[in-house]
Amino acid sequence: MNLNSHVIFTLYTIYGILLKGVSGQYPLVQNVTVTGGGTANMTCRVEYNDNTSLQWSNPAQQTLFFGDKKALRDNRIELVRASFSELTISINNVTLSDEGMYTCSLFTMPVRMARAYLTVLGVPEKPEIDGLTKPAMEGDHITLTCMTHGSKPAADLRWFRNEKEVKGAKEVNASGKTFTVRSSLQLHVDRNDDGVAYTCKVDHEALAQAPQQDTKVLEVHYAPHVKIVPSVEVPQEGQYLKLECLSRGNPSPDPVMWTKDGVELSDLGRVAVEGRDLTFTLLNKTDNGTYRCEASNYLGTSSAEYVLYVYDPNALGHHGTDHALIGGVVAVVVFVTLCLIIVLGRYLARHKGTYLTNEAKGADDAPDADTAIINAEGNHAHAEEKKEYFI
């Protein structure tokens, strides 16, 4: 390498170092998002610094830290790291008033600055469900309302009927920097709503780890509905039988009342009333009759009936055989009758055709209508004569 080349190389090296120093002496910052009540770490870095101090200022342009020197008396603001290449501070227990544009300054000539925006999320309060009457009556129209305050940005409210999501009507109102969110759910109450859990959940980015919700269980009062379920399909003598009275209502219609042919039943040894059930230990013919179960609450009364007929197990088998035999005989009689009708129909059709053919023979060669009639009558007379001859 000659002298000129060496000089050129040295100049390029010095220029590169100077260029790197100039480009590297710019503070680098990032926007920060923090949940209200949390801690915000604000970091400012410089790739290349010739021992120049860094400074953080708040949105009101008040100096927080100049290098490692604290300038603002606020116990929530602390120094995390201070060097010529980095200045990091922390703001504890952040509030919505801390939100805004923060400035990091590098005191070169001229002063170079970078700005970072601190976003503070408003945490929504736990929602509350209102409008639930206890108890509700079947047929009522009610409105459930869920409300939450203090969210920023505005929270979203979601309704669930047990585990299934249902849609409500949402309303958002601003209150300073935060929002109040309200959602309503219209219900036409029936007995299927009794015991159903209605839940209102708050969706918000500040609640990713701890979702907020409120749940209310709906109680519905309704009149009873009754039905009777037997333990066997065909009751037979000597069998055990249980008639179960299924009564559904709220308040619960207890106790139920059993009657036989209009007379109230009580424990009779073989027949026992056990809660809602009527049991027969050994059925016999004397148990035949109409059994009625009746249930009541303050909203109404409902009843169901069961007609009990006790079968003789021996006769039950013979009856089955007799029915099969009778069915077979009836089928044979119907088949024979159909066959006779078909044969008779065909015979009558042929006889009528032969009669018409013989009657027409006299008219084939007649010159006129009168002669045809005479010939036809002659044929009839001839037929009569033939009949008498053979007799």
pLDDT at 329: 66
HSE, side-chain direction, 13 A CA sphere, residue 172 = 14
* Coil, strand or helix at 42: strand
pLDDT at 375: 52
Q: Give yes or no: residues 113 and 180 share one domain.
A: no
Q: Give yes or no: residues 252 and 200 share one domain.
A: no
Q: Give yes or no: residues 337 and 348 share one domain.
A: yes
pLDDT at 168: 94
Per-residue pLDDT of the chain (391 residues; tens, 9 = 90+): 443 434 333 333 333 334 344 445 889 999 999 999 999 999 999 988 778 889 999 999 999 999 999 999 899 999 999 998 999 999 999 999 999 999 999 988 889 999 999 999 999 999 999 998 789 999 999 999 999 999 999 999 999 999 899 999 999 999 889 999 999 999 999 999 999 999 999 999 988 777 799 999 999 999 999 999 999 999 999 999 999 999 999 999 888 999 999 888 875 567 888 888 999 999 999 999 999 999 999 999 999 999 999 998 887 654 544 555 566 667 777 777 887 888 787 777 676 555 444 444 444 554 554 554 445 444 444 434 444 333 3
* In a domain? residue 377: no
Q: Give yes or no: residues 289 and 300 share one domain.
A: yes
Q: Which helix (H) or strand (E) holds 67?
A: none
* In a domain? residue 376: no
Q: Give yes or no: residues 287 and 244 share one domain.
A: yes
Rounded CA-CA distance 239/283 in Å is 5
* In a domain? residue 385: no
pLDDT at 327: 61
- C-alpha distances out from residue 322 to 204, 318, 319, 327, Å: 78, 6, 5, 8
**Domain final residue, candidates 311, 329, 351:** 311
Cβ contacts of 310 within 8 Å, gap of 6 or more:
235, 236, 237, 283, 284, 285, 287, 288
* Coil, strand or helix at 358: helix
Q: Give yes or no: residues 142 and 194 share one domain.
A: yes
pLDDT at 201: 95
Give the amino acid at 170.
K
pLDDT at 383: 39
Strand order of the β-sheet with 156-161 is 164-166, 156-161, 197-203, 212-217
Structure tokens given for 55: 């400074």
* In a domain? residue 278: yes
pLDDT at 391: 32
Residue 367 burial class via C-beta count within 10 angstroms: exposed 0-12, middle 13-18, buried 19 and up: exposed
**Domain final residue, candidates 166, 185, 218:** 218
* In a domain? residue 381: no
Query: Could you list the residue range(s) of the whole structural domain that residue 32 is in?
Result: 25-121
Q: Give yes or no: residues 275 and 253 share one domain.
A: yes
**Domain final residue, candidates 58, 93, 121:** 121
DSSP 22: H
* In a domain? residue 231: yes
Identify the CATH number of the domain in which residue 253 sits: 2.60.40.10
Q: What's the total number of domains in the chain?
A: 4
DSSP 114: E
pLDDT at 51: 80
Q: Give yes or no: residues 53 and 85 share one domain.
A: yes
Q: Give yes or no: residues 232 and 276 share one domain.
A: yes
* In a domain? residue 34: yes
DSSP 193: G
* In a domain? residue 365: no
Rounded CA-CA distance 144/278 in Å is 43
Q: Give yes or no: residues 41 and 103 share one domain.
A: yes
pLDDT at 12: 34
Q: Give yes or no: residues 208 and 155 share one domain.
A: yes
Q: Give yes or no: residues 29 and 81 share one domain.
A: yes
Rounded CA-CA distance 150/127 in Å is 11
